[in-house]
A and B are shown apart, each in its own frame.
Chain A
Amino acid sequence: MTRYVAQRSIESLIVLAVMSVVVYGLIGLMPGDPIDLMINANPNLTPADAARLKALYGLDLPLYERYWNWLTAALGGDFGYSRLFSRPVLEVLPAYLGRTAILMGASFVLSVAIAIPTGIWAATRPYSRADYVINLLSFAGISVAPFWLALLLIMLFAVGLGWLPAGGMQTVGLDSLADKAAHLVLPVLALTLLSVAGVTRYVRAEMIGVLRQDYVRTARAKGVPERQVVWRHGLRNALIPVVTVLALDFGALFSGALITETVFAYPGMGKLIYDAILGNDFNMALIGLLFATLLTLVGNLLADLAYAKLDPRISYG
């Protein structure tokens, strides 16, 4: 098992490395002179420094050389300066990371808490009226444009009803937890609604499949109470692919967060990446993208590991 973990981790690192090369190369294809912009992001740059950096990263150098120079610097903790913030990337990053973590974390917990019971409940009454409604709602949830849903929520709760703020992280001048929480409600709601639909659908489908199995029918025939049948026999086995999907969903969750943050002007990682790319802040964009890649890779790794751990039929190593 540890061998498998090691193997998968190495594979993930390789993908991350390849992705870093690809993104670094793509940055070089941005309009204008991206390298120049990256170097000049530092407001305290001296002409001597500029020349030195240009010699290391300039577009006239072959890709592998530029990349290598960047990589060695990055591994040493030097991610360059952010053009938009005029501060080192490493200084700016953590706060944004934290805020996105809150957003994603809250949505994840909420959507799982809603989706799993709903999916199970629907699966125990397949093709009933309630199940039909749930199914329809799930279909709707995965078909709606995420940014539109966010806009509708703003229209309803912020403009129409005036209950909640329309965007941002906090009201200017205030520094209260309650105020920050109020600003979080709509973004979290939007992200949750989007995730819930997909997960519910999946849970329902898996549970229906599992409940159809012979061993479940046997348990029922033996007189095991229905609740135990569902929970002990059905859920354990349905959860395996669900866990996999949840972990694989990290990437989609991050993309959803990106859109939600942009619509609500919530200062998180997603919006940061977007602003960075549009604002020609390539040092930031590069690191942001690699972070997003790392997140999805970790999600995939966790999914594989959880799957390996939970499914007794699979043995590794």
Chain B
Amino acid sequence: MAELAAAAPRSLLGLTYRRFRRHRLAVASALLLLVLALAAIAAPLVAAALGVDAETVNLLGRFQAPSLAHPLGTDELGRDVLVRLLYGGRVSLIVGVAAALASAVIGTAVGLVAGYYGGRLDAILMRVTDSVITLPVLPLLIVLAALDLGKLGLPEALTQSQQISLYRIVAIIALVGWTRVARLVRGATLSMREREFVLAAQAQGASALRIMGVHILPNVVSPIIVSTTLSVGGIILFESILSFLGLGIQPPLPSWGNMLTGAQELIWDAPQLVVYPGLLIFATVIAFNFLGDGLQDALDPRAAR
């Protein structure tokens, strides 16, 4: 009898975990991301250990070869490459996760309201959503990134701060990135809305907010998780593109993207400096994609792949 009891976990979470474990690539990706995250968190420690920081310019020590003092050498301004890569990793991961979460929150709210209330509200919201989807993302992001934030009425202490480019990029990506989740959640809400336990809650007099939050949302969480994870990769790519173009994370704050700004010249002097940041972007994004893929199969094995 004991073998039967230990055979399969009865909870939904347990079943999901076991399905996920079968995806070797997804598991490997999860581990890789964990390592990257830990490395990024450890950035200040590494900097302290080496006795350098990410921003001090040293024009006498440009393009140094790898050494004990600088494990990956120095860049075109004499800054330590390893430490800049680690701090850049922080930025990419923070932007990726923050913007993905922000998009998820906005998109979920829109999708829930549209799906639950239906009718004209749904039609309007979906019109807006579809319109935003049809906009050219990169040109729009470029315009938004070039805005003078002071004219928006934001306090000067904020607009001149070091981190403003970070906040801005998270905000503008979230502003265009919520649409996929919105459509997903709307579809799921529409199918949930007619379920009897939702009707039961309505018959008891539950408020719309309660029904959306307690009854519908917990039942549509799986696709939201998958979609959000899959979106992180794309967000990191967008951030790196904008930073590369000089419109995202502003120096001296390092980002994998802005470490490659104007790299056309670096190719001649120090090609390895072109490889490192791009390689890290690639590894991180593909890891998030595999992870999302694995999560999708684990959470919804019926989806035809």
Q: Which residues of B contact A (CB under 8 A)?
A: 131, 134-140, 142-144, 146-148, 151-152, 233, 237, 240-241, 244-247, 257, 260, 263-264, 267-268, 271, 274-275, 277-278, 281-282, 285-286, 289-290, 304-305
Contacts and interface: CB of A to CB of B under 8 A. Distances in A.
Contact of A293 (B136, B148, B281): B136
Contacts of B143: 23, 26-27, 277, 285, 289
A143 B241 contact: no
Contact of B139 (A30, A146, A273): A273
B139 A151 contact: no
B264 A167 contact: yes
Given A148-B282, A151-B260, A296-B136, A274 B142 contact: yes
A77 B277 CA distance: 45
A274 B241 CA distance: 12
Contacts of B135: 19, 251, 293, 296
Contacts of A166: 264, 267
A102 interface: no
A146 B285 CA distance: 12
Contacts of A278: 146, 246-247
Nearest to A154: B267
B278 A139 contact: no
Interface string A198-219: 0000000100110010000000
Contacts of B241: 145-147, 259
Interface of A: 12, 15, 18-19, 23, 26-32, 139-140, 142-148, 151-152, 154-155, 159, 166-167, 205, 208-209, 212, 251-252, 254-255, 258-259, 262-263, 265, 273-274, 277-278, 285, 288-289, 292-293, 295-297, 300
B179 to A, nearest CB: 13
Contacts of A152: 274-275, 278
A233 B282 CA distance: 38
Contacts of B260: 147-148, 151
B264 A154 contact: yes
Contacts of A28: 151
Nearest to B131: A15
Given A29-B148, A255-B137, A289-B143, A151 B274 contact: yes
